[in-house]
């Protein structure tokens, strides 16, 4: 029943109790939530209040409504833990790009969908890292990565055209080891990586491309890869916020 002395609204009380059941596992992924009528009977409230409580959970991305069937606890796609050793050279020696290696270590299926290979005007942030004029031509590889059948990341890698001309980076299949291995073969070994991550809500195009449920944020990653002091790749990644955990193990001086 609703507690009239509780400062939370009735709909919030119902939503909080259902959320607790989801997070504790009492309601598992794929389980059906009580119907609006059942919530009304259980909590002694109105249909509108019960509906508002469920709407709160939908906004948070915890449940999904299936027309004609009801509301269900959302099935969670696999979560990938992104570690600090993902750029280690031993991974490239194995012939695998960082994401592919991480996914396969978890026993999951991985595939890359190439969306575009072209020269395009450099976005401002890319131009700043390469020290070129905004709008100057750069070569882009636009991809979408799938993990166990779920679209999980959009990735746009920008290169100076002269750096990748005639290499496999201009082709759909970059070969074993990915783009880093191609650049290493050109005498540009990866020596340093800088990452900037910002959390935000997705654009409509990103919602469609990553098939995001309502309320799901994305992580926008800007990754600059260096060979010594020379930038060799500028990447923008859009990562589904419910499918990644970023794990950093950093040495501390002193």
pLDDT digits (tens, 9 = 90+) for 152-185: 999 999 999 999 999 999 999 998 888 999 999 9
Arithmetic mean of pLDDT over the chain: 88
Angle, CA 58 vertex, CA 63 and CA 74 arms, to 5°? 20
pTM score:
0.73
Q: Please report the domains of the chain, with CATH numbers, ordered by start residue.
A: 10-73 (1.10.10.10), 80-246 (3.40.1410.10)
Whether 97 contacts 177, CB under 8 Å: yes
SS3 64: strand
SS3 181: helix
Nearest to 112 by CA among 122, 123, 98: 98
Whether 198 contacts 220, CB under 8 Å: yes
Q: What is the pLDDT of residues 44-70, one digit of tens each?
A: 999 999 999 999 998 877 888 888 899
pLDDT value, residue 249: 74
Kind of pairing, strands 150-159 and 230-240?
antiparallel
Round to whole Å and give the CA distance between 87 and 111.
Answer: 19
Residues in the chain: 254
Whether 52 contacts 11, CB under 8 Å: yes
């Amino acid at each position: 029943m609703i507690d009239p002395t509780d400062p939370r609204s009735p709909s919030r009380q119902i939503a909080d109790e259902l959320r607790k059941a989801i997070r504790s596992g009492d309601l598992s992924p794929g389980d059906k939530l009580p119907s609006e009528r059942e919530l009304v009977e259980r909590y002694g409230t109105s249909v509108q209040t019960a509906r508002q409580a469920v709407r709160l959970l939908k906004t948070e991305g915890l449940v999904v409504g299936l027309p004609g069937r009801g509301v269900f606890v959302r099935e969670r796609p696999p979560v990938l833990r992104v570690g600090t050793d993902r750029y280690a050279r031993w991974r490239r020696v194995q012939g695998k790009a960082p994401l592919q290696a991480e996914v396969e270590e978890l026993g999951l299926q991985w595939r890359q969908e190439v969306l575009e290979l072209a020269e395009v005007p450099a976005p401002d942030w890319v131009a700043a890292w390469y020290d070129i004029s905004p709008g100057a031509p750069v070569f882009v590889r636009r991809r979408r990565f799938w993990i166990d059948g779920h679209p999980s990341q959009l990735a746009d890698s920008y290169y100076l055209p002269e750096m990748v001309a005639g290499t496999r980076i201009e082709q759909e299949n970059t070969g074993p080891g990915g783009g880093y291995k191609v650049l290493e073969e050109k005498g540009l070994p990866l020596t340093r990586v800088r990452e900037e991550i910002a959390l935000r809500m997705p654009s409509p195009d990103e919602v469609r491309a990553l098939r995001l449920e309502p309320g799901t944020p994305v992580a926008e990653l800007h990754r600059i890869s260096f060979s010594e002091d020379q930038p060799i790749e500028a990447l923008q990644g859009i990562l589904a916020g419910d499918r990644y955990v970023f794990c950093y193990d950093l040495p501390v001086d002193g």
